[in-house]
Chain A
Amino acid sequence: MDQLKEKIESASSLEELEKIRIEIFGKKGALAAEFAKLKDVPGPEKKAFAEGLNRRKAELQSLFDTRLEALKEAELQTRLRAEALDVTMYSNLSEKGALHPVRETMDRIVEYFVAMNFAVESGPMVEDDFHNFEALNLPKHHPARDMQDTFYFRDGMLLRTHTSPVQIRTMMRQKPPIRIIAPGAVFRRDYDLTHTPMFHQVEGLVVEEGDGVSFANLKWILTDFLHHMFGEVEVRFRPSFFPFTEPSAEVDISCIFCEGKGCRVCSHTGWLEVLGSGVVDPNVFKAVGYENVSGYAFGLGVERFAMLLHRIPDLRSLFEGDIRLLEQFR
């Protein structure tokens, strides 16, 4: 009996244990042989003998089960160990691409205004004189219409020089109230280190009936927006001039590079110009046939925002599909 116990306990593999199982518990095994003796045991002792036998069988069975469990666990551990990998070799296997920083910045800008209940609008890139200039109070011969700045086509059409024509198209299509944001590509005939012939703008327009919309409202939303984009910067409004707004203002933020102390990026002024804005000029409303309304409008250059936010040094590199730049935005 003790010999059998020892055998079970010393089994070192599942195969060995299986052999032992047959040896002990099999039809021709040791236990079967013992039970066979039962028929020769005299009547009065039979019961005690059987009980003893069963007890020993149970003991062996329990011992066997324990050993089986232990060997199975050991074998699992061995198998797992065999699967071991140096996981640290697999860092950086991500092959995700990336969104373009200008488009991603545009998304962020649009998201803010959508959250502020603005609708997204769009318009064609090939525009006519009326939508791009005339209706925006840029009469013929205005300096801003200089042939140098605008791409014209042979049939008199032009490439939009700003996203402002979307204002006109929207107002001519629907009645106030209007609350739109218009992101898109615009074109100017300028090509040097700091100008590309195509770039992106986001235009905003709000119109309500009556006298409700004021410069103070414009100041509120642009300040909030710039805080959303750039964090806790100072926001400064400077009076300026745009033909389609009156009063007009340019909006600066305190330089995010030097915190207003003055550096190369802000030309040592401590301020970065980021937005143009104003109360919609009555002539614009007249051009689209609106009466007794008030509104504000603003526009910004997306490349400038992207370059400031991500500290991208070179404007032209944004249009070259340069993976060395793009892969940084994964």
Chain B
Amino acid sequence: MIVTRKWLEEFIDLEGISDEQLHDTFNSIGLEVDSMQRFQMPPKVVVGRVLACEKHPDADKLNLCRVDVGEGEPLQIVCGAANVREAEYVAVATVGAVLPGDFAIKPAKLRGVESFGMICSSAELGLPETGAGIMILDESLGEMTPGKPLAEYPDFNDTVIELELTANRGDCLSIRGVARDLSAALDRELRRFESASVETMSRGIARIVELHTHGRIDADLLYTLVEKEELHLPFLMRLRLAMVDTLRDEVLASHLAYTVHATGVILRAYDADRLKDEEGKVPLEILQKAPGLVEVSSGGRRLSLVGISSDPAFAATDDSAEILLEASYIDPEILVPAVAESGEKTDELYYRSSRGSEPEIPLGMEYLESRCSAAGSCRFSKTPLSLEADREDRILSVDISKLNAVIGQEIPKGTIHTILKRLGFVIHHTGAERFGATIPRWRHDIRNIQDVAEEILRIVGINQIQARPLELTEQNRLTESTRRFRIRRDLRQRAAAAGFFEAVTYAFADRKLLESYGFPVLDESRELLNPIVEELNTLRSTLTVNLLEAARRNVSYGKRRIPLFEIGSVFDRERQEQERVAFLWSGEAEEPGVPNQGKPPRIDFARFVRELGSVIGGFRLEHCTESNALIHPYQSATIWIGDRPAGWLSKLHPKAAEAFGLAEETFVAELDFDVLIPPHIEAKPVSNFQGTFKDLSLLVDRELPYRAMEEALEKLEEPLLRRFFPIDRYEDEHLGDQKSMTLRFFLQSGEGTLSDEEIEGVMQRILTTLQEACGARLR
């Protein structure tokens, strides 16, 4: 909503209030100021009167004007504007004036003719566009005196303020509405606008317009007939409409827009001649098709839906001689659901009616009549035809102590009453602790005591409220979510310590891309209805693809070592959300430097596993059960933590590496976050007796995974075998289909130092087990 200070002054006295105070007042009452612009006419720009105007002898498009600028001889000015006419008042920048953009006016020669000044357009004076060509001034600004500086006409030095209104404040979508809010904030009366005397028609409207209606109607309607001989747009209105960015091409449309902007009343104008029947009458049928859908038609032709739209075929234009004016109001609480459910198309006035237009519709009609009368020759029907919806006043019982409890501070009852009255509330039967208040019709957003508290708070000013700490109920608030938050944060910190950079990527993905790599996608019936772009047209089912995209970007930024991780949600076919952690390491394993003589090693399986382990702790790798096209068939694994599968890790498949433009040495892992939540641990007693390490080299089938040996040994459940792990693997042609595996065993007892016989016994049992389960034999 754009307002101007001078326009506001039509409705409220702003004497003694500076622009800065106005700005701060708006902000403090919740009408946020988006921008404020003050116009100031430069010196030496004066009113001029064009005495004569003829074509330039050597240029078709230039005019040679003699312009009266008060004192002295008229000036000779060459003017290029098409609309310059004899006898018009214009703005003249005289020699010595400096226009915006540091444009100094000097005597000049244009095509051989001398020119002593410039006749200005609005843009040349830094004003918004008031129409094509130069400004044609008139008495709407005040008396036109050639030579009088423009800066002395107050309406040129206006301040334009753009307010960003919240969705509930339809009542402030007009100059008068904003003034009404200011009247409460500044504690000043709202001015009743001065209605000029209006020339009336000799015939009554009822002799021409026949209003038919039946049944319930949710709208208020008011009709007036106008006989229009001549109508123009005074310069002041043109200037203000330009300032609030609402200037129309047509005069009548501009008049309507001006009144709508000033009063907030919804107005439409129909060409009465197009509606007349054979007898010269205008039949009007008002019919409510559904709650909130009020149709206005004439002779079976729909003219408009109240508050929603109108048919341009019947709209009055500047050529119309007889015009049917309509002012309307409909409660947005009824209108908005009706529009949503019916799917009716809406026009630009709907923005106002849906947020709550001005319900005092006679005011709009009077304002329009008064402005049109002053701007031409129009005659209005004496008494308008009107139709009012049934309604009841909304009265709220206000409990003062409750009101103060919401605010947290004692506001005196008198202050509360004054504020509410200024805002248009009617106060009744006041008691000590409680009173009744009729809610003004234009505040459809006010429903309960807290809404009233908000009105009091914003007018009193939040700055006046003393901040106070809350006395709260003691409670243990260490919830499961809080614990999870901490575990997540610890994990992230470990990942960063291990060298990974944390990425945050969109929870969206490209459905085709996911499918092409064999990841699950949302069931069609649960898919996104309105994706924003093709590449983000579904929810992701993996974090890894997003990390690969991020890695691709980093390659293009010239990065050679790309360690990334992300914690985030993924979604399965049924759209169930699951929290995952993914890791990616591509390219070099270290930064180049002294330790590696500038030739950093590439990341490999062992190193990636070790980095991963320093983030997530111990895990076990088994044969990979995950299947997607990112996985390398021979360097991939399922990650087990305890007895639960936690995710997968893999060297990136070379085809995928190529597709994403990444180094061949790229490793990825993706794990369920839930599995990483540390379990409760109970300590086992530590043995103080000496343990012993024993190595065993065995020949086994070359294809036998180490895991098979591990499983066999786990089944053995040998109490003295505390720990074992592989330390070497060896193959050569002499071994044929076999390989040599060296395992290291740690033996220890909790009861005493192991004897040679005991050690020998355990090692024998281990050997036997591996012989039987894995066909192993000593090397």
A: residues with CB less than 8 A from B are 89-90, 92-93, 95-100, 102-103, 107, 110, 114, 117-122, 124-126, 140-144, 147, 151-155, 157, 177, 179-180, 183, 185, 187, 189-191, 196-198, 206, 208-209, 211-217, 219-221, 223, 236-241, 246-250, 279, 281-283, 294, 318-324, 326-327, 330
Contact = CB atoms under 8 A, between A and B. Distances in A.
Contact of A189 (B471, B530, B591): B530
B32 A197 contact: no
Contacts of A294: 405-406
Interface of chain B, main secondary structure: mixed
Given A140-B340, A177-B473, A217-B470, A98 B169 contact: no
Contacts of B448: 246, 282-283
Contacts of A319: 504-506
A139 B722 CA distance: 65
Interface stretch (B387-395, B461-469, B644-652, B763-771): B461-469
B19 interface: no
B402 A153 contact: no
Q: How large is the interface on B (under 10, 10 to 19, 20 to 34, 35 or more residues)?
A: 35 or more
B158 interface: no
A124 B595 CA distance: 47
Nearest to B449: A282
Given A117-B472, A140-B337, A215-B407, A97 B168 contact: no
A213 B224 CA distance: 53
11 contacts: A97-B563, A99-B502, A120-B481, A153-B575, A154-B526, A197-B532, A198-B506, A215-B406, A219-B408, A246-B453, A319-B504
A103 B492 contact: yes
Interface of B: 27-30, 32, 166-169, 336-337, 339-340, 354-355, 402, 405-409, 445, 448-451, 453-454, 457-458, 462-463, 465-473, 475, 477-479, 481-482, 484-485, 489, 492-493, 495-508, 524-533, 536, 539, 546-547, 549-551, 553-554, 557, 559, 562-566, 568-569, 571, 575, 577, 590-591, 593-595
Contacts of A246: 448, 450-451, 453-454
A219 B477 contact: no
A326 B453 contact: no
Contact of A247 (B337, B457, B473, B495): B457
A100 B503 contact: yes
Given A197-B508, A208-B472, A241-B30, 13 more contacts: A97-B497, A141-B339, A151-B529, A154-B525, A209-B473, A214-B405, A215-B462, A220-B467, A220-B470, A223-B467, A238-B32, A319-B505, A321-B505
B307 to A, nearest CB: 14
A85 to B, nearest CB: 9
B477 A214 contact: no
Given A102-B504, A151-B531, A241-B167, A119 B479 contact: yes
A93 B539 CA distance: 39
B469 A119 contact: no
B408 A126 contact: no
Q: Max chain A CB contacts within 10 Å: which of B475, B481, B493, B532?
A: B481
A321 to B, nearest CB: 3
B477 to A, nearest CB: 4
Q: 4 smallest A-B Cβ distances: which pairs?
A: A214-B408, A216-B408, A321-B550, A239-B30
A140 B340 CA distance: 9
B555 to A, nearest CB: 10
A319 B566 CA distance: 11
A119 B462 contact: no
Nearest to A95: B499
A157 B522 CA distance: 13
Nearest to B562: A323
Contacts of B457: 215, 239, 247
A241 B172 CA distance: 14
A323 B554 contact: yes
Contacts, number: 262
B166 A320 contact: no
A95 B500 CA distance: 9
B472 A153 contact: no
B534 to A, nearest CB: 12
Contact of B557 (A103, A196, A247, A323): A323
A117 B458 CA distance: 30
Contacts of B533: 191
A126 B571 contact: yes
Interface of chain A, main secondary structure: mixed
B526 A155 contact: yes
Q: Max chain A CB contacts within 10 Å: which of B478, B524, B590, B593?
A: B593
A209 B475 CA distance: 14
B508 A96 contact: no
B557 A239 contact: no
Nearest to A121: B481
A283 to B, nearest CB: 8
Nearest to A152: B529
A156 B84 CA distance: 61
Contacts of B565: 97
Q: Max chain A CB contacts within 10 Å: which of B30, B508, B577?
A: B30
Given A95-B591, A120-B481, A219-B467, A100 B577 contact: no
A177 B577 contact: no
Given A95-B499, A143-B167, A216-B467, A247 B454 contact: yes
A66 B695 CA distance: 48
Contact of B169 (A185, A211, A241, A282): A241
A145 B473 CA distance: 35
A324 B557 contact: yes
Nearest to B354: A143
A102 B492 CA distance: 13
A120 B485 contact: yes
Contact of B532 (A120, A191, A330): A191
A237 B463 contact: yes
Contacts of A121: 479, 481
A211 B495 CA distance: 46
Given A237-B462, A240-B166, A321-B554, A114 B482 contact: yes
Contacts of A93: 591, 593-595
A209 B478 CA distance: 21
Contact of A323 (B168, B340, B559): B559
A216 B466 contact: yes
B529 A98 contact: no
A259 to B, nearest CB: 18
Nearest to B476: A119
A213 B499 contact: no
Nearest to B479: A119
Nearest to A122: B481
A46 B482 CA distance: 92
A261 B99 CA distance: 28
B502 A103 contact: yes
Given A99-B492, A318-B504, A321-B503, A197 B453 contact: no
Contacts of B169: 241
Contacts of B495: 97
B419 to A, nearest CB: 13
A257 B281 CA distance: 68
Contacts of B402: 211
A220 B469 contact: yes
Contacts of B595: 93
Contacts of B524: 154
